[in-house]
């Protein structure tokens, strides 16, 4: 079919590709300005204790309100930012904004709420990362043990030795470290074993299968929870949406959970009163 249409279909494809690249270039330029124009903000999602249902921590998730396109998902703009130094700029914005907001909410409500922030692989290569985390803690007074940094598996497998070194430097500041979206990358437990991690977050694709009768999810999550516990890691289930999933997670001994069932990402002030 495509062959029969000949040149026309190639032209059509070129137009589509060109439009996509142009949109990406425009968005990248817009994102550069977004930081200064106050279009970025942070939504926080509760992380709860599976046993008690109480909120232990919140994960900061970046939000971009574009002046003409409206809300743009981080799934779209984070990869764009990762293609340049921009990820370091907005990553730094995240660190400083989230530590300031959560430190101030902790004081205001007198609660021991922890904060988790996502780091991109590229930020691990940035020599200013560790000093920047230290500065954010000093400036806001957030205790280091109240901050957890999340890294995806792919960030660790690319250059495991270099990544491990940065993780050790972060750990020596007193912050905690988590591996995000576990199960979607290529890392094996054997690789994680050597890293100074505290927490493992099970990817939402496995959690979604927990209440489906003919899925392998229960067996997979059982394996992850047991192995993680043997490695002294705290386990968090991501994307928990139903009561049934929570019941299974409780039975499997998963420590903490996060998802729409417990709460959607919201502006900092809307987290209160905490559950
Ligand atoms: P993530 O770190 O794995 O964050 C969890 C994502 O799952 C969030 O999407 C969250 O809104 C969504 N989620 C939470 N509960 C549920 C649920 O019950 N069901 C479903 N279907 N989804 C749920 P979001 O906010 O769109 O962020 C997507 C990804 O973008 C994040 O995945 C993270 O990888 C990245 N991201 C967000 N903010 C930042 C940031 O500040 N820095 C970096 N490097 N990446 C970020
Ligand atoms: Mg995360
Ligand atoms: Mg995740
Ligand atoms: Mg994810």
Q: Is residue 47 scored above 70 in pLDDT?
A: yes
Token readout for 190 is 């054997």
Nearest Cα residue to 233 out of 205, 262, 192, 203? 192
Separation between Cα atoms, residue 100 and residue 136, nearest integer Å: 8
Separation between Cα atoms, residue 119 and residue 117, nearest integer Å: 7
Residue 83 burial (CB count, 10 A): 11
Q: Is residue 2 scored above 50 in pLDDT?
A: no
Q: How far is CA 184 from CA 127, 154, 204, in A?
A: 28, 9, 10
Q: Is residue 260 in contact with ligand 1, taking CB distance under 6 Å?
A: yes
Q: What phi, psi does 79 have (nearest 5°)?
A: -60, -35
pLDDT-derived band of residue 113, with 50, 70 and 90 as boundaries? very high
For 233-260, b where at least 16 C-beta lie within 10 A, e where not — what string?
Answer: bbbbbbbbbeeebbebbeebebbbbbbe
- pLDDT, tens digit, 9 for 90 and up, residues 198-231: 999 999 999 999 999 888 999 999 999 999 999 9
Q: Please give the torsion angle defined by the CA atoms of residues 218, 223, 228 and 232, in that order, rounded to the nearest 10 degrees.
A: 110
Mean pLDDT across the stretch 123-147?
Answer: 97
Q: Is residue 118 in contact with ligand 1, taking CB distance under 6 Å?
A: yes
Q: Is residue 39 scored above 60 in pLDDT?
A: yes
Model-level pTM? 0.93
Interval between CA 256 and ligand 2 midpoint (Å)? 14
Mean pLDDT across the stretch 247-254?
Answer: 97
Separation between Cα atoms, residue 70 and residue 11, nearest integer Å: 31
Could you tell which of 34, 61, 79, 93 is best to mutate to test the pocket of ligand 1, judged by most ligand atoms within 8 Å of the CB?
61
**ipTM score:** 0.97
For the chain, percent of residues with pLDDT exceeding 70: 94
Q: Is residue 45 in contact with ligand 1, taking CB distance under 6 Å?
A: yes
Interval between CA 30 and ligand 3 midpoint (Å)? 26
Q: Is residue 242 scored above 50 in pLDDT?
A: yes
Q: Is residue 36 in contact with ligand 1, taking CB distance under 6 Å?
A: no
Could you tell which of 57, 77, 78 is best to mutate to test the pocket of ligand 1, judged by most ligand atoms within 8 Å of the CB?
78
Mean pLDDT across the stretch 10-18?
Answer: 76
């Amino acid at each position: 079919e495509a062959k029969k249409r000949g040149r026309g279909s190639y032209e059509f494809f070129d137009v589509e590709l060109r439009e996509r690249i142009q949109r990406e270039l425009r968005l990248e330029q817009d994102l550069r300005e977004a930081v200064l124009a106050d279009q970025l903000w942070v939504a926080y999602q509760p992380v709860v204790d599976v046993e008690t249902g109480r909120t232990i921590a919140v994960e900061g998730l970046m939000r971009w309100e574009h002046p003409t396109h409206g809300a743009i998902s981080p799934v779209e703009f984070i990869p764009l930012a990762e293609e340049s130094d921009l990820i370091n700029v907005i990553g730094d914005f995240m660190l400083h904004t989230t530590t300031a907001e959560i430190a101030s909410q902790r004081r205001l409500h007198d609660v021991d709420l922890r904060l988790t922030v996502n780091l991109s692989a590229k930020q691990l290569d940035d020599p200013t990362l560790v000093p920047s985390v230290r500065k954010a803690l000093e400036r806001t007074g957030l205790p280091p043990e109240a901050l957890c940094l999340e890294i995806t598996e792919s960030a660790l497998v690319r250059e495991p030795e270099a990544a491990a070194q940065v993780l050790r430097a972060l750990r020596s500041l007193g912050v905690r470290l988590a591996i995000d979206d576990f199960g979607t990358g290529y890392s094996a437990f054997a690789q994680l074993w050597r890293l100074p991690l505290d927490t493992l977050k099970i990817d939402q694709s496995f959690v979604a299968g927990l209440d489906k009768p003919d899925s392998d999810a229960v067996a997979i999550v059982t394996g992850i929870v047991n192995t993680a516990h043997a490695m002294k890691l705290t386990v968090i289930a991501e994307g928990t949406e139903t009561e049934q999933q929570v019941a299974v997670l409780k039975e499997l001994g998963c420590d903490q959970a996060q998802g729409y069932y417990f709460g959607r990402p919201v502006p900092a002030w809307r987290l209160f009163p905490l559950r």
